Amino acid sequence: MSKIKLNVLGISYSQTQSGAYALVLAEENGERRIPIIIGGFEAQAIAIQLEGLKPPRPLTHDLFLSFASAFSISIVEVNIYKLEEGVFYSRLICEDGEKQVTVDARTSDAIALALRFKCSVYTTEDILSKSGIVIEQEETKEGESSAKSQFFSGTSQKSHKAGDELRDFTITELKEMLQEAVKNENYERASEIRDEINRRKKK
């Protein structure tokens, strides 16, 4: 069975389940998207990696990476291999240089680890045909970046208010505030500050 490569497009608030988030995976050479409902903890683990934020203490998935690396184990591939009653099932393909082992994992955890191990994510045509949706191609790189940030910034109105508040600070002050926010593990605040710094750089 042929495999289809997926890329992590971003995370947004779930429109169907309160308190949950939608992880959006995109077909690499196509227009289909797979939305997967995940919990808040997993959404934070994925969003932090997408945002490029470095926690002062390792999160669970960071600890897994460090532990595996210490024993020369790597995840070389993630496979989303089954969809049953709305639930996606995934496997981690792991190697230690001598043998390959397959480990079952929740899809949200598998994606969080794939981002940290920088490995590819695959699914099948059958799963894509069942769950894939096509979104009109009006997305830009800026739009994709915005999608990645939705976990932290929420509605555009909230993001706009945060930007207004930060406009009075210099770049140097913003960078210091960013380091302080990450140090205090206030990732939502850190994301808002980082977005303001990026806006300044584009001008």
Q: Across all residues in the chain, what is the average pLDDT?
A: 82
Summarised one tens digit per residue, pLDDT across range 31-89 is 899 999 998 889 889 988 988 888 888 899 999 999 999 999 999 999 999 999 889 99
C-alpha neighbours within 13 Å on the C-beta side of residue 132? 17
Indicate whether this model's pTM tops 0.75: no
CB atoms within 10 A of CB 44: 19
Reported as type and span, the H/E element at residue 177 is: helix 171-183
Domain locations along the chain: 3-134, 155-202
Question: Lowest-pLDDT range, 1-5, 113-117, 118-122?
Answer: 1-5
The domain 3-134 is placed in CATH, from the list 3.30.1330.40, 3.10.690.10, 3.90.1300.10, 3.20.20.80, at 3.10.690.10
Residue 20, exposed/middle/buried by CB under 10 A (0-12, 13-18, 19+)?
A: middle
